[in-house]
Structure 1
Amino acid sequence: MLLIQEQIKTALKARDAVLVAHYYVDTKLQILAEATGGIVSDSLEMARFGQNSNANLIIVAGVKFMGETAKILSPEKTVLVLDNNATCSLDEDCPIETFSKFCDQHPDRTVVVYANTSAQVKARADWVVTSGSAFNVVKHLKINGKKILWAPDKHLGNYVKNKTGADMLLWQGACVVHERFKAKTLIQLQNKYPEAATLVHPESPQEVVDLADVVGSTTALINAVKNRKEQTFIIATDNGIFHKMHEVAPNKKLIEAPTMGVGADCESCAHCEWMAMNTLENCLSTLQTGNNEIFINANIRKKAKNAIQKLLDFTA
């Protein structure tokens, strides 16, 4: 019997499909995506890759909002996610009804939302940003005299607010993975490995961000491991990223930042339970059945595309 990877490769070719995977999903899916002409990247780059691909079918290994972003940019293509129940706490923390009312209460503010949101929330926004672009976009808006309503991640929003000095009203969402990182035990780990550089994703709490040598997006953290001179790194983000970090810097030592206190069952449990729902088995099943297709209302899609396009034009 063929290995499941070979079955998936055959099915991808037969269905004229491309597999795009996030840095946080299972290593086997990341390897398979690149081996079959797909990509491993952040959510916006996954969607943009699918848009530019000649494939008629985009298979998204990630969470549901990533599938929606891919569909927003490629409405003429079929987009399938591996599990319809794979969601995101940031998306869940920002329901469109309450968020829309919040926006209506502050009509003088430019609405900037993080990519980790539903298509409906993106459609309500003026701008969509990523963790890598948020600082530059907010700085640009501040220079142009704009007051900002930010959603959903309060930690990333606070980080950008502190760095830019912009007038930002923050929605109070948080990532269940990044919010678990602990400053007290991180300091203990830094004392144990004084030669290590500490890399932190800005969705982490401020007291953790304050301890970082590098604060940045998934791509920025991977590049830091690749390019910095240190040989040891303490990493405060989802541990799914370790595959790509080992790939770009195979001889460097990577240590997971602590998410649990002293005496806990694990020193670090930094892995998204929804990302973990992406498996080789449901990848093959999705390809064979066509289940888990993403559908978006045309009006919602058009409005969301406008907010995303501002970012794409800004970063071009």
Structure 2
Amino acid sequence: MAATAPLERTASETSVFESAYGGVEPDAAWRDEVLRLAAEKDAVILAHNYQLPEIQDIAHHTGDSLALSRIAAASDASTIVFCGVHFMAETAKILSPDKTVLIPDERAGCSLADSITGDQLREWKAEHPGAVVVSYVNTTAEVKAETDICCTSSNAVEVVASIPADREVLFLPDQFLGAHVRRKTGRENLHIWAGECHVHAGINGPELAARAAADPDADLFIHPECGCATSALYLAGEGAVPAEQVKILSTGDMLVAARSTKAKSVLVATEIGMLHQLRKAAPEIDFRAVNERASCKYMKMITPAALLRCLRDGLDEVHVDAETARRAKGAVQRMIEIGQPGGGE
């Protein structure tokens, strides 16, 4: 079943959508005020790897969405400020129902999470009675509540492999991660939802091939959500790039690989915000984007001004219905029990 087409916006809606809270410079005064307010409000600031560098640098913790949600659950802070997109803040709320969870701009959505709704998943399940539903953590709370087991890009293969071979599997919402799982498991009864992250889908095979040809000694760090993941494996299979240089990795695993690689340069296929953390982890390595335009406008809506507003005014709070949260939490917990969940994305 195909995902619905992206929503079309009028010119005025686009103007509102693209505008962000601005006018604040991330200088020393801003930093002091943000940290003062966080201490005053008993808040911990979490920033996803795709956030603006100044947001990553001021956060108490930086990482992928699942790792940050776990940190939120373990934190003694009563307030969680999640600098990321909306489904990530929802996941933190699911795992920390008694804490106040804030997102600096509630308009920060996700094209991948929005590619399937709870109603669409219920219809798909009705077409495949008895199938096991496996949802990537990059989904809304409503979708997680209709899910049997969640997965991350690190343990998606293990999650699907744990399901009895005679059971149909509905895998959603990312078609590229689904193709990676099918390729690794060889499972023919795996049905894949045709969703995608518009940023990762735009990192294509020809771009990757051209960059790899220009720097044949570079390692390739490829996120499995990317449209170029199949091309990367093809290049390795054909001998155009040594197989040991091609690494299909979650964002969390990219950081691990950055600290252990012997390569002098690395071509990175994921959202460009990840380069900031990679360069901090291994400053001696030349990390370059496969596609320098791969920037998520939703992630970049969390500006210095938006973070300051969030802490000053307690906006925007994220709520998840108690029953939805209960059911969604079960799917996340089952995921954690299988293999090593690793990174959230």
Q: Normalising by structure 1, report the TM-score.
A: 0.92
2:152 aligned residue:
130
2:302 aligned residue:
278
Q: What is the Cα-based RMSD across aligned positions, in Å? A: 1.5
> 153, 174, 185: which one pairs with 1:164?
185
Show the 5 A alignment for 1:156-305: 156-166=177-187, 167-205=189-227, 206-210=229-233, 211=235, 213-258=246-291, 268-305=292-329
For residues 34 and 204 of structure 2, the distance between their equivalents in structure 1, rounded to whole angstroms, comes to 39
Alignment partner of 1:15 is 2:41: yes
1:264 aligned residue:
none
In the TM superposition, what is the alpha-carbon distance from 1:185 to its structure 2 partner? Answer: 2.5
The 3 A distance-change label for structure 1 pair 2 and 186 is: closer
Contact 2:173 2:196 in 1 (8 A): yes
Aligned amino acid, residue 17 of structure 1: A
1:109 aligned residue:
131
SS in 1 for 2:162: helix
Ranges in structure 2 where 5+ consecutive residues have no aligned partner: 1-26, 237-245, 341-345
Contact 1:119 1:296 in 2 (8 A): yes
For residues 87 and 224 of structure 2, the distance between their equivalents in structure 1, rounded to whole angstroms, comes to 20
CA distances 1:150-198 after superposition (whole Å, capped 9, x unpaired): 1100000110111011221011100111101121232121111111111
CA distances 1:45-72 after superposition (whole Å, capped 9, x unpaired): 1111000000000000000000000000
For residues 302 and 156 of structure 1, the distance between their equivalents in structure 2, rounded to whole angstroms, comes to 26
Contact 1:110 1:126 in 2 (8 A): yes
Q: Normalising by structure 2, report the TM-score.
A: 0.85
In the TM superposition, what is the alpha-carbon distance from 1:2 to its structure 2 partner? Answer: 6.2
SS in 1 for 2:31: helix
For residues 105 and 146 of structure 1, the distance between their equivalents in structure 2, rounded to whole angstroms, comes to 14
Contact 2:208 2:232 in 1 (8 A): no
Contact 2:172 2:193 in 1 (8 A): yes
Contact 2:137 2:151 in 1 (8 A): yes
Percentage identity across paired residues of the two chains: 33
SS in 1 for 2:217: coil
Alignment partner of 1:151 is 2:184: no
Structure with bigger RCO (C-alpha 8 Å, 6+ apart): 2
CA distances 1:245-286 after superposition (whole Å, capped 9, x unpaired): 01110010011103xxxxxxxxx2011110010112111101
For residues 190 and 172 of structure 1, the distance between their equivalents in structure 2, rounded to whole angstroms, comes to 28
Ranges in structure 1 where 5+ consecutive residues have no aligned partner: 259-267
Number of residue pairs aligned between Structure 1 and Structure 2:
302
Contact 1:5 1:280 in 2 (8 A): no
SS in 2 for 1:214: strand
For residues 126 and 170 of structure 2, the distance between their equivalents in structure 1, rounded to whole angstroms, comes to 11
The 3 A distance-change label for structure 1 pair 76 and 256 is: same
Show the 5 A alignment for 1:68-79: 68-79=90-101
SS in 2 for 1:54: coil
For residues 178 and 259 of structure 2, the distance between their equivalents in structure 1, rounded to whole angstroms, comes to 27
SS in 2 for 1:21: strand
Aligned amino acid, residue 300 of structure 1: T
For residues 5 and 289 of structure 1, the distance between their equivalents in structure 2, rounded to whole angstroms, comes to 17
SS in 2 for 1:25: coil
SS in 2 for 1:314: coil
In the TM superposition, what is the alpha-carbon distance from 1:301 to its structure 2 partner? Answer: 0.5
